[in-house]
Each structure stands twice: as structure tokens, then as C-alpha cells.
Chains A and B, each alone.
Chain A
């Protein structure tokens, strides 16, 4: 809602400066989003007189002027032709800055000095186009008066961001009312004198309301003998000041009164209304109607329309029709002022995407009580500006009862809930200032009837809010609540989420956050099979863009897109992770599943840039290592790595699925080259993916800690030739299967293939550390045990000890 400082002053007296007023309104809940001080910084543009005008010696189209600014005579070169010697003009003096950051400097134009500029309306930001400079009335103001002051344009525009509940403030009077209540002063009275003449209105036109529940009040006046013409300057200026374009005197009056009183009005060309009657009814399904903006609209049975005897002439409360629009030839006017049901108007405006100043107000609710006042005020102004005669009386169809139900209000509850200690009388005074009617009840409570325009006040709590608001939120003391102690530690889920994030960060990984929506073809880019459940995604009904049209079922596409994007910025050493939800449709009426998932991607060199060691690229085992350390920290046991069934998006020879016992918990591997290409990734990437919900389920809180042995150890190495198809893990498992408690640790310390090793085989070396918890092991014991281990290996696996 736009309102100006001077306009408000016409309704209420106050002494606050524009800045103070803005602060006051903001603290009342009428937030001033911005302020535009009209003419600000233009005080150096002043009223001046051209004392002498002669031809520029070196330029045909320029003239040399001696201009009197009230203090001195200055030389100005001017290119405009529309003025004569003696004209009163607007002089932009040296140092002034015109709109568009145009600085006026002393200059030489074709050899002649110019100390300023004579301005046009356009140059002062007062018009879009100007034919020449601004020529003023000789007696407009003393020479040297700032031009905006002289024109009466010095004002401040306040742009107020209203909350949806405050429909009462969609007008100048509404804001003035709240201001008056806050300041404890009275609104200035609105004087309207409406001269009526001739026949009663009923002899010109009839009004019928077919749907009183959608239109509880419809009022109209008939004005004949009008002359449609441009509006006078003051009206144009006033509308322009709040950003409304002038159209003609009649339409401008309806707009002015709407802004002033908040009542949307509509003027029909009465001669174009068939049968001289108005019917308020709902539209026929599929009925066609052309609105003022020359758009044909298809109506529905829920749309409320204003009709003449034959056809719709306006879309009620939204926009008038082309067929009854005020034209230059119009002389008879039907002026409409009505109340339409907010929900109905909202529905129509929303469906047609037609949001007008009028529909905005009706949707939020207007003051049903001031329908008549606005009508009279507008009619009076129309005859003042366009001439004509207002017929006797108004048509005012008001079938319903608008008396509001009283609200029971307990002043002490207001104090208690807000946390203040106002006197009862102070509280009641606030409500009275807000124009509420009050009656004391015998039980100490009060019956309160709020004014009609405060549609947002319906309950006791609404009145309590008014008390807090008018008294001032700044007057409420900040206190600490007295609370009962509750014991609540974070859930296991929350603790593990935090722990996993912490562990991944410790593993040098950078957390990323992608949008939860992805493109419908993401599953295809991952080569997922047609029956993969991740292909069934929840679709957005109204996506903003196609790339964000479904809820993701896997975090991988986002991760891979991020990887590609970072590589394109030459960030090649990447360690990224994301821990967020994925979304699966629920079965039947069940809620969708939103499990948390964890994914990671690594690429580039292992340690980033370094000078001391050769750069080593990360590989599968770096990714696996991160997963291993994570699982170990979460105390997840029974982990197995299965390379037989792997996800489609991995290199089949360099990836595996991860199980804990029988539970599938995730996967790790090198990205499939096709997937890599699908996402436009330049370099090899290794990824892992973990089902967070499974991690929570399987993680154990209890750690088993053993005291270390105090006896010496003894290590033995075994090197063996192992066929490629035998996984290294089998060797470790085989040694561990010995179940000798003297075997403290089994470790692979070398894997080699190449010269000296037959094709199809690898040389694998393991180190076994023997140690007892009870005593120092004798050499013979170790030899015997080690021999048993070696024999077992050779017997159980197709390996050859070297």
C-alpha cells in the first residue's frame, strides 16, 4: 500500500517527521518497506525568470539567456524554443544533481559560458516525455524557491508492506485510523456534500441480487450529463504520487476514492446497459466475457458477474467489461459500490490470473459499512470534475444483517499472556481508541464489538494482540520463562548423523548440499535397470524447471553434477560428501519414505598439491578406506564386501556391495565410464554410498575394550603366489580361522605382480604377529604355530608358499 506523508496529514494531525512517521508505522505492524522523498536533493533546482534571451552567436538552435534566480543573474545556454523573454522557468543551478545522476556543472557551449540548465518536466522526473522546458505561472512562487516546493510536490511516499490480515489498511484512511489510535487523537472529519437533483434513481435503473451470500451489499448512483475529460492537475499529481496512471476524470475519481477509503468502485456507461437494469448473479458455465484489458475470458458457474438485462458487464470486484466501459462520449454513469464475498473474488481472480487493486481489496475484505460513504464521496467528486447531475437517492441493496457478534474479553488475561501490567482502564482505552464498542459484564469481563473494517478481530486473542500492538512491543519486558526440567538427550539418529558428518570431515571430505529435486532422466543417466525402485520418483505437480521436476531417489546425480562442475572450474582434487534425505512414494495412503543417505566422491591426487612426494592419484582403496573407518567408528561388525552383485553405475571389476551380516548397507567403486560420460565428468571418480538408516540400526553403542598384552611379540612373514581369482581377504580369513589366541594381528604388507610372478597370479606377502596375554612365547611354540598356519593355508587355498 502506497501512501504519502501529506495525504495522511489530510486525515490526521501529527507532528512527526517523515522518518519518525515511518518508524512509528513500522512499530505498529504497518511496515514501511521503503520511503521515497519526492524532490529530495533537488532543492538547487529553483524558480527563476528569463530576464534576457538572445541568439547564440555560434549556433542557430541555441539561445543565450540571462536568468534571475532571486539572488543574482546567471548566464545559461538553452536549446529549447518554447519560451520567451520574461518566462518563469525551472533553473537547475551549478551543483544540482538531476534524476539519473545527471550533475549540473559550469560549462562552455560553443564558446559561451553556461552556469546551469533550464529544465523540462522529463529532466525533473515529472513526466515520461516533454516537448520543451517547463514554463511556470509568473506568480507561482518567489524567485529562488525550490521547484518541488513551488509545485507543491514536496512530499514523502511511504511504501507499506501490509500483512494479509490488515485489509483495513489498504487505504489512506485505514492507515490514518491506526495512526490516530496510536497517537490518541481523533481523525479529521470527512465532509461530503452531495447535491442531488431530478428524478429518483429508481426511475433510471433497477438492481437485483440473485446471490446475496456472494454479494451482501450492492449500492449504486446514477449521474447524468457528465463530460469525460482529462483530470485536473491536482488529481493527476495525487494519483501519480502513489504510482497510479491518470485515465480520465471519472475513472480517476473511482481510483482516488478507492485509495482514500479502500472501497473499490466501478463506473459503467449507463447508456450501454441493456434494459436499464443491473443483476448480480453467478456466471453460466463457459460463458464468454471480454474484460477491460481486451482479453476474452471463459467464466465458470462460481464466478460472480454484474449483468445488465442481457449479458455480463463486469466481473464482480475484479474488472469491468469492455462492453460498458467509460468512453469519451459517455454522459450517463452508473457508479457501483459493493461488498463481495472475499473467497468468491479470490477464487475468480486466482483462476484467471487477474489481480487488480480492486480484487486485492475484495479478496481481503472491505468495510461493508462504508460502501455508501465511498459511493457518495465519489459521486460528489465526479459532478465537481465532470459536471452532470446526481439522481435523487442511492440504490442500496443490503439484504443481510451485518451486526457483529460481541467478543468476551478479559483484561487481566491480556496482561497475563503478554507479560505486562497495564491498568484495566489503560487496556480498555486502547480498545476504545481502536473504535471498539465496549460493555462491562458482571463477571469482570468486557463485551467488545470491533468496528466493521477490522475483519481480523474476531476472538479474544485478537483483542489481546491489539493491546500489545498499540501499547507497543517495545514496552514489553524481556523475561526468562519459568520452565519445568525435562530430560531429553538427542536421539540415536541425531547423534549418529552428527558423528558421521564429523568423521567424513576428518577424512578430508567437503560437505555439499544439493537441491532435493532432480531431473526425471537422472535414473537413466545412472544406467539403472527398468525395474529399479529408484526409477519411481515422486513428481512435482508444479516444478519451476524441468531439471527439478522429481524428488530424488538417490543422492548420486547431485553429487556427480557437483563433481563435474567443480572439475570444470579446475578443482581436480575432490573429496565430496552429501548426507541428505532421498524420497520414495509411500504405498497406498502411507506417507512417503524419506530415508537419510550418505554418498561420497573422490578424485584427483590423494594429498592435494605437495612438493615432497610424487603425486599419487586416489583409487578404489581410498574410497573403501573411508567407508571402513566409518563402519569401524560406528562399531558395525560382520562387514563383508561382495563384488558379485554391484550397482549399474560402477565399473564392474572395481566395485562392490557392502553387507553387515545379511543387511545391504551400501556400495563403493569406481564410476562406470559411461556414467562418467553421462554426467560430463573429466576424470576418474570413486564413489561410495551408504544407507544411513541401516547404519543407525546396526551401529553399536557399546565398545569392547581389552587391555594390551605386556609380553614381547614375534612376527613371521609368509610370501605366497596366489591365483587372481582368490581374493586376498580369503588368506586373512584363513589365518584367522585358526582361532589361535596367540595370533595378535594378520596384515597384508605387499601385493605384487609382474616380473618373476607367473601370469594369472599375484605375489602376496602377509605378516603375522604372535603374542600371548599370559607369558613370553617360547621359540618352539611360535615355530609350531606358524607351521600350522602355513600348512593350513596351503591345504585350504590354491596358493604356493615362495
Chain B
């Protein structure tokens, strides 16, 4: 019996060493250690041994089995590792082929600018207000201190519709609607679509503006400068120079045009800024007392400022678009870049 065990062990060691695949090793395990395996068969012979021999041989059987198990385990692990190594060295894909992905959707650049500007002003405590695009003359002009027949009306070529209404020429009527609805403090911005009866390379009959209005006690022109400086720095970069210069709007006084240092040339002068180094981006001013009169605010008690900017202009500067018409041609080859 001893010899038989010895033989079995040697045979097993050789077989395990010779085996190369996981399948061969598993076969060896079944042949030797399985229910009908050789070692199992030998163990059945233990019963015929004497009481003295039985424990000795039994111990030997166990040690042979442990030895085979351990050799099998090591070989199996090595074979599995080989298998993985072989897989890794043989499998190759062309990673340069494009990935599989859904088409990327995009927001219109006008929407993107409105969202960005609104977010900046939300951070300054301004909420978003809206108003109708088809307006009464009173909200669009008269309450904003454009009396009938006033030359300032020529600044804004107006589309008229039936019932003596018009397409709003600016987002400023939202100021009036807001102040008629609520008492100070007022802090709103009003993005929206506006219309002017004018069409060429730099004018579109439909475009977009964002209006801003802040009315409270003790608001100064310096505060307007502060708010607009913070805004332009957030939109165009921390070091963007800002310049206010006198201008005229019927509904603000004092009024200002707000220029930023040219984002194209950095202020040195280029074609976009007509060599001035400055780009006009918005109009602003202190709300005119005449406007307060129309909304029954007391100009002696409160003060405030308003500002308005063209969204197309900002989009064009932000994205380096030279022709405004691109924004309304809706060519997906253009829109999918945003």
C-alpha cells in the first residue's frame, strides 16, 4: 500500500507538471481525487489493514492528498494567470475609431447668454421679470418719457399692429409694468425679444435685450457704475476695463453709454472697436423722475437706476461672431458648435 501511494504521488507530480491548461489540471484532479478517483479507491482499501497500520497509512494518504491538492492549486493558479496573460496579449481593438454616442444637443447662443447674464444678476439679488411683446404705446413710449411726436422716438423705428398697439422696441416697458405692480425695493432684470423696423448687416428686425432696474432708497449713479463693473467683469473677465460716458435716453437721467475695453484687441484698437479700444455694450442711467411720476413713485423718497443691453451684441463678442445674421439663420452647422 505504501508503495502504491508513493507511486500515485510521483505519477501525480509528473502529470501536474506536464499539464498546461486549466482543463488538463481539472481532469487530473478528477482522476486522482474525484469520487471515483485513484486516491479515493486506495482509501477504500484502508479497511483491510491492521489496527496498527491503519493510522499510519491513513496519515500517509492524507499527506499525499494534501500534497497533490497544493500542487494542483499552484499549477491551476499559474495556468489561470497564463490564460489571462494570453488573452491580454492577443486581444486588441482600434481605439482610434470614434466612440458611440448620441448626438449632442445644444442651446441657442441667445439662450446661453440670457442664462449667463441672468445667473450673474441672480447672484446680485435681481429676479427675472417678463412682459408682453405686443405693447401699448403708453408702456413702450409715453410712460418712459417719450412724448408723442418726440424726436427720441426716431431712435427706435417701430412696427405697428392693429388696435394702435406696437411691437415693443425695447424691454424697458417691463420696468413700467413691474413698478406699477410693486413698491420699492425693486431689483429685476427682464430678458426678452424686441423689434425694430430696420434690417441690414448690423440690424435685425427682431433681436433681444436684457433690461435691469433697481429702485430703493439712496441708490446712486456710483452704485450703477459699481453694479455694471461687477457684471462686466464677471461676464468678460476680471480685468475688463469699464467706461461710462454721457448719453441720452428719455427715461433715464443722468444717462450713460457703457463701454468695455475691447475684448478683441485688449484696448489697443482694432477693426471691431473701430480703433477706439472701447466697445459699447449697454445703455444705462438713473431712472428719470418723469418715469416715477407715471408709476406713482415719489422721486424725493427713492432713487434707482436702469440699464439695457443687446444680447446679440454680447453673444457676438463672447463667441467672436462677426455677422449678426448667423444668429437667426438656424444653420445646425453653426448652432451645434455651442
Contact = CB atoms under 8 A, between A and B. Distances in A.
Interface in B159-193: 159-163, 165, 167, 185, 187, 193
Contact of A480 (B160, B161, B165, B230): B230
Contacts of B167: 540
A513 interface: yes
Contacts of B108: 511-513
Given A29-B246, A513-B327, A608-B103, A464 B226 contact: no
A480 B155 CA distance: 31
A481 B286 CA distance: 13
A488 B243 CA distance: 31
B132 A541 contact: no
Given A166-B248, A481-B223, A515-B205, A418 B254 contact: yes
Given A538-B134, A538-B161, A542-B160, A516 B185 contact: no
Interface stretch (B31-39, B76-84, B146-154): B146-154
Interface stretch (B11-19, B64-72, B328-336): B328-336
Interface stretch (B20-28, B52-60, B212-220): B212-220
Nearest to A611: B97
A163 B247 contact: yes
Main secondary structure of the interface of A (DSSP, over half): loop
A21 B167 CA distance: 40
A629 interface: no
Interface in B283-298: 286, 288-289
A782 interface: no
A627 B125 CA distance: 35
Contacts of B98: 610-611
Interface residues of B, number: 79
A614 to B, nearest CB: 13
Given A478-B242, A540-B161, A608-B103, 5 more contacts: A461-B288, A477-B222, A478-B229, A515-B205, A538-B161
Interface string A513-551: 111110000000000000000000011111110001001
Contacts of A538: 134, 161-162
Interface stretch (A144-152, A561-569, A644-652): A561-569
Contact of A164 (B104, B152, B257): B152
B197 to A, nearest CB: 6
Given A481-B226, A594-B133, A417 B286 contact: yes
Given A29-B245, A164-B154, A544-B205, A566 B223 contact: no
B221 A539 contact: no
Contacts of B227: 480-481
A511 B106 contact: yes
A402 interface: no
Contact of B187 (A34, A486, A540): A486
Interface string B75-117: 0000000000000000000000110101111111011000100
A343 interface: yes
Contact of A511 (B185, B221, B335): B335
A501 interface: yes
B134 A164 contact: no
A468 interface: yes
Interface stretch (A133-141, A575-583, A663-671): A575-583
Q: State the majority secondary structure of interface residues on B.
A: mixed
A575 B103 contact: yes
A347 interface: yes
Nearest to A342: B151
Given A164-B154, A480-B226, A481-B226, A486 B185 contact: yes
Nearest to A413: B300
A163 B257 CA distance: 11
Contacts of A416: 218, 220
Contacts of A504: 105
Contact of A34 (B220, B255, B274, B333): B274
Contacts of A346: 149, 151
A607 B162 contact: no
A483 B187 CA distance: 9
Interface stretch (A36-44, A249-257, A584-592): A584-592
B216 A483 contact: yes
B332 A510 contact: yes
A536 to B, nearest CB: 11
5 contacts: A34-B274, A473-B256, A511-B106, A538-B161, A539-B162
Nearest to B205: A544
B253 interface: yes
Nearest to B112: A511
Contacts of B107: 501, 505, 511
B244 interface: yes
A612 B103 contact: no
Contact of A516 (B193, B254, B288): B193
Closest A-B pairs by Cβ, 9 of them: A419-B222, A29-B246, A419-B220, A163-B248, A505-B105, A481-B223, A508-B103, A465-B254, A488-B127
